[in-house]
Amino acid sequence: VSALRSVIHEFELIAAKHQVQKIKTIGDAFMAAAGLLQPVPNPVASCAACGLEMIEAARRLPPFWEIRVGINIGSVVAGLVGKKRYVFDLYGDTVNFASRLESGGIPGKITLSTDAWHRVAAFAQGASLGPKEIKGKGACEVFRLDGMNGANGTVCGPRP
């Protein structure tokens, strides 16, 4: 639990740096979103930069995980649930799709939906993984994000 607490704390700092809001943790999963509570110019780019930094952090902090990140974009339903212990949560197809991108993704990589990829493709490195079977969606083209061009033209991303 101590190691998990340390990793999640680091993820919270990274998320805040990239204007990404932590929604909740589910075991060792970290659910977050950008553009919900405050507008950001490109929510996918914020999530992608955040994910790349989280991948690096998870590699250097015990227990030295290779995490997977799934990114999708779309509408969600948000609200408080519960009577004794309120929890803010997100629901909907967008959330489910992102979760399936993560769970079926490659360790140490970010997997994006087609719509999400189009929001970063002009300044990102990556490749199509082809059509993948996504539960409840059928065959969908998905993309692997390898890095993003930084402001100074450098490539930002996890080391192989």
Q: Rounded to whole angstroms, how far apart are CA atoms 55 and 60?
A: 9
Residue 157: the pLDDT is 63
């995490």: which residue's tokens?
Answer: 67
pLDDT in tens, 127-145: 999 999 999 999 999 999 9
For 9, phi and psi rounded to 5 degrees?
A: -60, -45
Q: Is the dihedral of CA 42, 23, 50, 110 positive or negative?
A: negative
Asked whether the beta carbons of 110 and 48 are under 8 A apart, the reply is yes
Asked whether the beta carbons of 47 and 53 are under 8 A apart, the reply is no
Residue 152: the pLDDT is 45
Residue 16: the pLDDT is 97
pLDDT in tens, 10-62: 999 999 999 999 999 998 899 999 999 899 999 999 999 999 999 999 999 99
Residue 138: the pLDDT is 95
pLDDT in tens, 82-93: 999 999 999 999
Residue 37: the pLDDT is 86
Closest CA to 70 of 31, 21, 42, 128: 31
Closest CA to 22 of 36, 4, 2: 36
